[in-house]
Structure 1
Amino acid sequence: MSQTWKKNSSEGETKPQTSFVNKFLRGSKLRSSNAKSRKENNDLKTTESQPSEGMQKMATLDNAKALSSETELGSQMEKNEQLLQKLGKKAVNKCLDLSNCGLTTMDMREMVALLPFFPDLEELDISWNDFVGGSLHSITQQMHLVSKLKILRLSSCRLTTDDVQTLGEALEMIPELKELNLSWNSKVGGNLPRILKFQKGSKIQTLELVDCALTSEDGAFVGQLLPMLRSLEVLDLSVNRNIGDSLSSIAQGLKSTSKLKVLKLHSCGLLQKSVKILDAVFRDLGELRKLDLSCNKELGGGFEDSSAQLVMLKHLEVLDLHQCSLTADDIVSLTQIIPLLSSLQELDLSANKKMGSSSENLLSRLRFLPALKSLLINNCALESETFTALAEASIHLPALEIFNLSWNKCVGGNLQLLLETLKHSTSLQVLRLSSCSLMAEDVAHLVSVIQMGHLARLQKLDLSYNDGICDAGWTIFCQNIWFLKELTELDISLRPSNFRDCGQWFRHLLCAVNKLPEITEIGMKRWILPALQEEELECFNQDHKRSIHFDHGGFQQADFPGLTKPKAILQS
C-alpha cells in the first residue's frame, strides 16, 4: 500500500534528469526544424517558378499562426513544468504519478490542463489526495483525451456519490483499462453497479476494492461481473466485512477467472462454511499464486473437512492464514495439504494460538517446502515439542529470508535448537525474536553464530521485549553486532511497563555502529541514558554525519520524579 515516489540519486547527489516537458519541447523544436529543412529543399526546387503575391501572404499568415501556436505551447508547458515541480513530481514517459502530494482544488484544475499534452498517457495515479473528492468530475470530463489509459489509481481520494456516478461514465471511455484501484473510498460501497459497467471482453487484469464499505449486494454484483473479466489476474476485496454473505455468488463468478493469480479476502467476514464454498472453486484456479484469507476470525473449524481441493493450487506461492482462529482439527487437515504445495514461498500462520499444542506434525513437514522464503509463526503459543519440530525442519529451508518467531515464550532458553538453522540460512535477511523470554545464554548462542559470519546478509534484527537479558548479555551482543555488515534496523526496546538504565554496553553499541555502514534505525525505547552516556551520544552525533535514528519513544524525566540523578532519554 506504499504510495511513495522515487528519485534517482547516488551518495546524496542527484543525477540530472530530462523532464517530460523538456522532452516534449525538444520534440516540438525537432519537428519544427525538420519542417524548416523540408521547406528549404522545396524552395530550392522551385527557384525558377516564383509564387504569386497571394500565396506569399498565405504563407506569411501560416507562419505567424505556427509561431503563435508554438509560443502558446511553450507557455503552457512551462506552467505544467512549474506545477509538477511544486508538487515534487515528474512526468515519466507515459506515467503521471501525483499520488500523496497534497493536491488542492487549484492544483486539480491545473492538472486537468495537463491532460491534452498526454495523448499517449497509460498510467494516472492521484491516490491519497483528499481534495480529489468532489472534484473528480473535472478529470472524468476529460477522460476522452486519455483513451489509451491502462492504469487508473484513485485509492483514498474521499470520493463522493457524485464522483462515483461520473467515474462510471468515464470508465466507459477507456477501453484499454487494465488496472483499477478504488480502495479506501467508502462511497464506493452500495454504488458498485454504477461504477463497474464492464462488458464482456473487458481487458481488466487488476481490480482492487479494499475497504470500500461494500455491501452484500455489491458482493453479489461482483459475482455477476466476474464472468465478464476473463483477463482478471488480481482481485482484492479485503476489509469489506459484509461480502461474506454473498461469497457463494462471488465463488460462482470466480469459476470463470481461470487466469486469476492473486485472490485477497482479508477481513471479509468469512465463516466456517466459507472454506467449503471456496474449496469448490480451487480446481478452477490453477494459476493462483497468492491466497489471503487472513483475519477472518470465524473461519476456524472450516478446514477440518473442507479443504481437499486446496492441494490443487500447484503454483501457489503465498498462503496467508494468520489470525483465523485455526482449531486443532484445522491443523490436522492442513498438515496433509501445506507440505504438498511445493511452490510455496511465503507462509503466514501467525496469531493462531491453538497451534501451540497441535502443530508438531505440520511444522516437522515444512522440510518438504525447500522454496520457502518467508515463515511467520509469531504469537502461536508454541510449546517445547512444537518448537523442537520447527527447529529441526527449518534446517531444510535454505532459501529462508524472513523468520518471525516473536511472542513464543518457549524460545527462551531453547534458542540453541535453532543454531544449525541459523548456520545454514545464508539468505536470512529478517529475524524477529521479540518477546520470546530470551536470556543471556540465548544471546550468547546467537553471538556465536554471528561471530562465524553465518548471518552475513541479515538486515533486520528484533530482540525487543526480552527484558530478562542482563547487562552482561547485552554487552557480549553489542561487542559483536558489528559482524552484521548489512544490518539496517535493530530493535532492543524494553516492554512498555519497564524502564532501565543503559549499562556500559551502550559504549560498545556506539563503537559497533561506526562499523555498520547500512544501519539507519536503532529501537531503544525505555532505555534511560545517564548523563555521562548522554554526552557520549552527543559527541557521536557531532562526529558523524550519517543519519541514524535512535528511537527512544519520547520518555521524559518528569514521568519518573523518583530518579536520584539527572538522566536523559536516548535520542539522535
Structure 2
Amino acid sequence: MSLNKGNPREQKTTGRCPIEKHPLNLTMSQTSKKTPSDGESKSETSFVNRFLRGSNLGSSKADSRKENNDPTTADFQPSDETQKTAALDTAKPLTSEMDLGSRMEKNEQFLQKLGKKAVDKCLDLNNCRLTTADMREMVALLPFLPDLEELDISWNDFIGGTLHLITQQMHLVSKLKILRLGSCRLTTDDVRALGDAIKVIPQLEELNLSWNGKVGGNLPLLLQNFQEGSKIQTLELVDCALTSEDGAFVGRLLPVLQNLEVLDLSINGNIGGSVNSIAQGLKSTSNLKVLKLHSCGLSQKSVKLLDAAFGHLGELRKLDLSCNKELGGGFEDSAAQLATLERLEALDLHQCSLTEDDVVSLTQVIPLLSSLQELDLSANKKMGSSSEHLLSRLRFLPTLKSLLVNNCALQSETFSALAEASIHLPALEIFDLSWNKCVGGNLSLLLETLKLSTSLQVLRLSSCSLLTEDVALLASVIQTGHLAKLRKLDLSYNDSICDAGWTIFCQNVWLLKELTELDISLRPSTFRNCGQWFRHLLCAVTKLPEITEIGMKRWLLPASQEEELERFDQDSRSSIHFDHGGFQQADFP
C-alpha cells in the first residue's frame, strides 16, 4: 500500500452537486408517431417541459439548433446564425418536436459514451478525455440546460485552443455559478475569450483555472471584467505560472471582490515579490475564509506584511503558508495579528524552515487559537530541540482534530511534552509522528493517549525506530478494545521489530474492525524474509470487513506463503490489494 499523496488527476474535484437524471426514454420513433392534429399526448408534453425545465428557450432557441448544432450533420455555427433559423423552426412544431427528441437522444448517447448522466443544474465532464468533436457535442447540450449552475471540464488536455466554442455560447447558461477548467492546457486566446465571457455570466461564484500555465502573464485579460459587486466567492489559480505583475494585479482586484471567501494562489513562486500589493488588497476582503499561499516564494518580509493584514480577516478559517522555505525567521517579531484569527480552524506551516525564535513566538500565539482543528508543523527540523513549550501548550486546543509533527527531529524532552499534552486532546483524529526517531523505545509515553482516544482514525509512526516492545505495547492496547475507530495505521520503515513483535501484532490487528489501510513496509535498502506471522496476517485480514490496502514492500515470501497469497487473491476478498512491489521469493522453502 502506498501512503503517498495521489496524482492530481486522481484527486477529482469535490463539492459537486447531486446528479439528477432526466427520464430520457423518448425515442425518435415515439416522437414521430403523433402529430398535433392527432392529439399530442400529455405524457409527451410533460416530458418536453421537464427536459426544458421551464426554459424560455423551449420553442425557439432550443429547437433552432436541430441541424446547426448537430455535429453529425453540420459544422458548428455561431450563435447569430442559430438565432436566424429559430423563427423558421417555430413555424414547424412537428419538425421541432421530432428534432427535439432526436437531439435529446443524441445528447443522451453522448453522455453515456463518457460515462455520465443527463443533469439539470450540474454537468461534470472532468477527466473525460474530451476531443474537439466532443466539445462541439457538449456545446450542443447547452440550449437544453438553461438552468445549468455548475460546469466542470477540468483535466481535459484537448480543450486548449477550443474554449471559444463554449464561451461564444455562454449566454445560454447565464445562471452558471461554478466553472472549473483546471488543467485544460488553455491558450492565451482561451484566456482572452474566457475574460470576455465573464461579462455574460454575472452569477458566477466559483472559478477554478488551476494548472494552466498560460494564465500567467495574462491574468488581467481574464479578470479585468470582474466589476464592483461581483458575486465571485472562490478563485483558484494554483500553479498558473503567475508573474509578479499578476500578483500585483490580484492585490488591486481584491477590493472589488467583496464576496470572496476562498483565494488559492499556491505554487506560483514568482508572486512573492508582490506580497505587499496582495496584503494591502486582503485588508479589504473581510469575508475571506480560506487563504492558501503554499509554495509562493514568501520571505521573512512577507510574513510581516501578511501579519498586518490578518487583523482585517476576522472570518478566516484556513491559512496555508506551507513550503515557503525562505519564510523561516519571519515570525520572530511578526505573529501578533495571527492571534486575532479567533475563528481559524486550520493552520499549515509545514516545511517553512521555522527557527527557534519562530517557535518561541508561535508558542505565545498558537494556544490562543481556540477554534483550531488542524495544525501542521511537519518538516521543520529546527523545532526538535526548541518546541517543548509549544507542544506542551497544545493542551489548550481541545478541539484539535489533526496534528502533524512528522520529521521535526523531536528530542526526548519535546516528545515527552507532546505525549503529556496529547492526553488532553479528546477530539484528535489524525496523529502523525513519523520520522521522529525518539519515539522508538518510548511509545509507552503515549499509552494513556492511545487508551483514552476514542476518535483517533489515522496513526502514522513510519520510520520512528520502533522496537519490538513498542509494537507489543500497541498490540496490547488493541487487545483491550482501544483504538476502535482507527482506519489507517502506518508502521512502515521500522526494521528493528523482530518476528515475535510482528506475530503478536498480527494476532491482534483483526480487532480493528474499521481499519482500511495498514502499512508495514521495510526501508528501500532492506529486504527480510517473512516469518510465520504472515499466516496470522492473512487470517486477520479475513476478519477485517473494511480493509482494502496492505503495504508490505520488500518483505520476501517463501514459495509456500506465496501460494497462500495467490489462493487468497482468488477468493471473494480479492479486492484487498497487497502492495508488495512484486514479492521476491525468500531463500528458504
Distance 2:133 2:47 in 1: 37
Aligned counterpart, 2:490: 462
| Letter of the structure 2 residue corresponding to residue 3 of structure 1 | K
Deviation at residue 106 of structure 1 after TM alignment: 1.1
2:379 to 351, 374, 389: 351
Question: Higher relative CO (CA 8 A, sep ≥ 6), structure 1 or 2?
Answer: 2
Deviation at residue 542 of structure 1 after TM alignment: 2.7
Aligned counterpart, 1:123: 150
1:310 to 330, 338, 353: 338
Paired residues of 1:443 and 1:473 also in contact (CA < 8 A): yes
Deviation at residue 4 of structure 1 after TM alignment: 6.1
Structure 2 CA distance for partners of 1:248 and 1:513, relative to 1, 3 Å: same
Aligned counterpart, 2:21: 19
Paired residues of 2:26 and 2:105 also in contact (CA < 8 A): no
- Asked if residue 335 in structure 1 is aligned to residue 372 in structure 2, the reply is no
The equivalences for 1:272-311 within 5 A come to: 272-311=300-339
Give % identity.
79
Instruction: Output one character per residue of 1:182-203: Cα deviation in whole Å (capped at 9) or x when no partner.
Output: 0000000000000002011100
Deviation at residue 92 of structure 1 after TM alignment: 3.2
Aligned counterpart, 2:169: 142
| Letter of the structure 2 residue corresponding to residue 353 of structure 1 | K
Deviation at residue 69 of structure 1 after TM alignment: 1.2
Distance 1:465 1:99 in 2: 37
Paired residues of 1:4 and 1:100 also in contact (CA < 8 A): no
- Asked if residue 189 in structure 1 is aligned to residue 216 in structure 2, the reply is yes
Aligned counterpart, 1:204: 232
Paired residues of 1:411 and 1:436 also in contact (CA < 8 A): yes
Deviation at residue 234 of structure 1 after TM alignment: 0.2
Paired residues of 1:21 and 1:80 also in contact (CA < 8 A): no
2:199 to 162, 165, 172: 172
Paired residues of 1:91 and 1:97 also in contact (CA < 8 A): no
Instruction: Output one character per residue of 1:413-464: Cα deviation in whole Å (capped at 9) or x when no partner.
Output: 0000001001111000000000000010000111111011110000000000
1:257 to 285, 289, 300: 285
Deviation at residue 508 of structure 1 after TM alignment: 0.1
Q: 1:299 aligns to what SS in structure 2?
A: coil
Deviation at residue 171 of structure 1 after TM alignment: 1.1
Distance 1:142 1:436 in 2: 57
Distance 2:149 2:520 in 1: 46
Range with bigger deviation, 223-232 or 529-538: 529-538
Paired residues of 1:458 and 1:484 also in contact (CA < 8 A): yes
Q: 1:298 aligns to what SS in structure 2?
A: coil
Distance 1:359 1:375 in 2: 14
Distance 1:97 1:320 in 2: 30
Aligned counterpart, 1:244: 272
| Letter of the structure 2 residue corresponding to residue 96 of structure 1 | L
Range with bigger deviation, 25-34 or 404-413: 25-34
Distance 1:173 1:31 in 2: 35
Aligned counterpart, 1:395: 423
Q: 1:190 aligns to what SS in structure 2?
A: coil
Deviation at residue 543 of structure 1 after TM alignment: 3.1
Range with bigger deviation, 477-486 or 540-549: 540-549
Structure 2 CA distance for partners of 1:503 and 1:514, relative to 1, 3 Å: same
Paired residues of 2:488 and 2:516 also in contact (CA < 8 A): yes
Distance 1:220 1:23 in 2: 53
- Asked if residue 491 in structure 1 is aligned to residue 519 in structure 2, the reply is yes
Q: 1:81 aligns to what SS in structure 2?
A: helix
| Letter of the structure 2 residue corresponding to residue 183 of structure 1 | S
Paired residues of 1:411 and 1:438 also in contact (CA < 8 A): yes
Distance 2:14 2:319 in 1: 28
Aligned counterpart, 1:50: none
Paired residues of 2:26 and 2:101 also in contact (CA < 8 A): no
Range with bigger deviation, 62-71 or 358-367: 62-71
Distance 1:7 1:189 in 2: 27
Q: 1:490 aligns to what SS in structure 2?
A: strand
Structure 2 CA distance for partners of 1:444 and 1:234, relative to 1, 3 Å: same
Deviation at residue 541 of structure 1 after TM alignment: 2.2
Deviation at residue 244 of structure 1 after TM alignment: 0.7
Structure 2 CA distance for partners of 1:564 and 1:307, relative to 1, 3 Å: closer
What is the RMSD computed on CA atoms of the aligned residues? 2.4
Distance 2:41 2:300 in 1: 66
Range with bigger deviation, 262-271 or 98-107: 98-107
Structure 2 CA distance for partners of 1:218 and 1:337, relative to 1, 3 Å: same
Distance 1:4 1:204 in 2: 18
Paired residues of 1:97 and 1:126 also in contact (CA < 8 A): yes
Aligned counterpart, 1:11: none
| Letter of the structure 2 residue corresponding to residue 233 of structure 1 | E
| Letter of the structure 2 residue corresponding to residue 328 of structure 1 | E
Deviation at residue 319 of structure 1 after TM alignment: 0.2
| Letter of the structure 1 residue corresponding to residue 412 of structure 2 | S
The equivalences for 1:203-222 within 5 A come to: 203-222=231-250
- Asked if residue 73 in structure 1 is aligned to residue 80 in structure 2, the reply is no
Structure 2 CA distance for partners of 1:202 and 1:485, relative to 1, 3 Å: same
Deviation at residue 70 of structure 1 after TM alignment: 1.4
Paired residues of 1:21 and 1:77 also in contact (CA < 8 A): no
| Letter of the structure 2 residue corresponding to residue 206 of structure 1 | T
Deviation at residue 172 of structure 1 after TM alignment: 1.2
- Asked if residue 269 in structure 1 is aligned to residue 278 in structure 2, the reply is no
Between structure 1 and structure 2, the one with the greater Rg is 1
Aligned counterpart, 1:369: 397
